[in-house]
Structure 1
Amino acid sequence: MSRRGWVLFAAMGVLWGIPYLMIKVAVEGVSVPMIVFVRTAVGAAVLLPLALRAGRPTWLRDRWKPLLAFATIEIMIPWALLSDAERHITSSMTGLLIAASPILAVVIGRFTGDAERLGLARWAGLAIGIAGVAVLAGPALGDGSPWAIAEVLLVALCYATAPIIAARRLSDVPSLPMTAICLGGAALVYAAPAALTWPQTLPEPRVLAALAGLALVCTALAFCVFFALIREVGPSRALVFTYVNPAVAVTAGVVVLGEPLTASIVAAFALILAGSVLATAQRPAKDAATGAPVGSRG
Structure 2
Amino acid sequence: MTPADTARLLLLGAMWGASYLFMRLGAGEFGALPLAALRAALAALPMLAWLAASGQLDALRRHWKPIALIGLANSALPYACFGYAAQSLEAGLASIFAAATPLMSALLAWAWLDERPGTRRLAGLVIGLLGVIALAWQHAGARDGSEGTQLALAIGACLLAPLAYAFAGCLAQRRLQAVPPLAAATGGQLAAAVTLALPAAWTWPAQAPSAGAWASAAALALACTAFAYPLFFGLIHRAGQARAATVTLLIPLFALAWGALFLGERIQPDWLLGGALILGGTALALRAARPAPAAGCDARHHAPQRA
Using the size of structure 1 for normalisation, the TM-score is 0.88
Q: Which amino acid aligns with 1:165?
A: L
How many angstroms apart in 1 are the aligned matches of 2:98 and 2:225? 17
4+ runs of 1 displaced by more than 6 Å?
none
CA deviations 1:190-229 (Å, max 9, x no partner) are 2223333444444223212211110111111111211221
How many angstroms apart in 1 are the aligned matches of 2:261 and 2:228? 22
Q: Which runs of 5+ in 1 are unaligned?
A: 286-298
Q: Indicate which of 193, 204, 210 corresponds to 1:204.
A: 210
Label 1:284 to 1:55 Cα distance change in 2 as closer, same or farther (>3 A).
Answer: closer
Shift of 1:113: 2.5
Q: Give the secondary structure class of the aligned counterpart of 2:288.
A: coil
How many angstroms apart in 2 are the aligned matches of 1:202 and 1:51? 33
CA contact (8 A) 1:129 1:272 kept: yes
The match for 2:269 is 263
Shift of 1:132: 0.7
How many angstroms apart in 1 are the aligned matches of 2:61 and 2:48? 18
How many angstroms apart in 1 are the aligned matches of 2:212 and 2:10? 25
Using the size of structure 2 for normalisation, the TM-score is 0.86
| Residue 109 (structure 2) pairs with residue 109 (structure 1) | yes
CA contact (8 A) 2:90 2:265 kept: yes
Q: Which amino acid aligns with 2:246?
A: V
Label 1:219 to 1:243 Cα distance change in 2 as closer, same or farther (>3 A).
Answer: same
CA contact (8 A) 1:8 1:228 kept: no
Label 1:18 to 1:80 Cα distance change in 2 as closer, same or farther (>3 A).
Answer: same
Q: Which amino acid aligns with 1:125?
A: G
Shift of 1:53: 2.3
| Residue 27 (structure 2) pairs with residue 27 (structure 1) | yes
Greater alpha carbon shift after TM alignment, 47-56 vs 19-28:
47-56
Matches within 5 A, 1:116-155: 118-141=117-140, 142-143=142-143, 144=148, 145-155=151-161
The match for 1:193 is 199
Q: Which amino acid aligns with 1:113?
A: L
Matches within 5 A, 1:73-92: 73-92=73-92
CA contact (8 A) 2:121 2:289 kept: no
Greater alpha carbon shift after TM alignment, 106-115 vs 24-33:
106-115
Q: Give the secondary structure class of the aligned counterpart of 1:244.
A: helix
Q: Indicate which of 214, 235, 242 corresponds to 1:236.
A: 242
The match for 1:245 is 251
The match for 2:283 is 277
Q: Give the secondary structure class of the aligned counterpart of 1:89.
A: coil
RMSD of equivalent CA atoms: 2.0
How many angstroms apart in 2 are the aligned matches of 1:260 and 1:226? 30
CA contact (8 A) 1:52 1:177 kept: no
Shift of 1:168: 2.4
CA deviations 1:159-217 (Å, max 9, x no partner) are 22222222222122111122111111211222223333444444223212211110111
How many angstroms apart in 1 are the aligned matches of 2:106 and 2:4? 30
How many angstroms apart in 1 are the aligned matches of 2:193 and 2:67? 15
How many angstroms apart in 2 are the aligned matches of 1:121 and 1:235? 20
Q: Give the secondary structure class of the aligned counterpart of 2:71.
A: helix
Q: Which amino acid aligns with 2:90?
A: T
How many angstroms apart in 2 are the aligned matches of 1:226 and 1:246? 17
The match for 1:294 is none
Greater alpha carbon shift after TM alignment, 120-129 vs 275-284:
275-284
Aligned length: 284
Q: Which amino acid aligns with 2:229?
A: F
CA deviations 1:257-292 (Å, max 9, x no partner) are 12221111010111111101112223789xxxxxxx
The match for 1:292 is none
Q: Which runs of 5+ in 2 are unaligned?
A: 292-307
Label 1:61 to 1:220 Cα distance change in 2 as closer, same or farther (>3 A).
Answer: closer
Label 1:243 to 1:232 Cα distance change in 2 as closer, same or farther (>3 A).
Answer: same
Label 1:139 to 1:173 Cα distance change in 2 as closer, same or farther (>3 A).
Answer: same
Percent identity, please: 32
Shift of 1:90: 1.4
The match for 2:260 is 254
How many angstroms apart in 1 are the aligned matches of 2:2 and 2:194? 39
The match for 1:296 is none
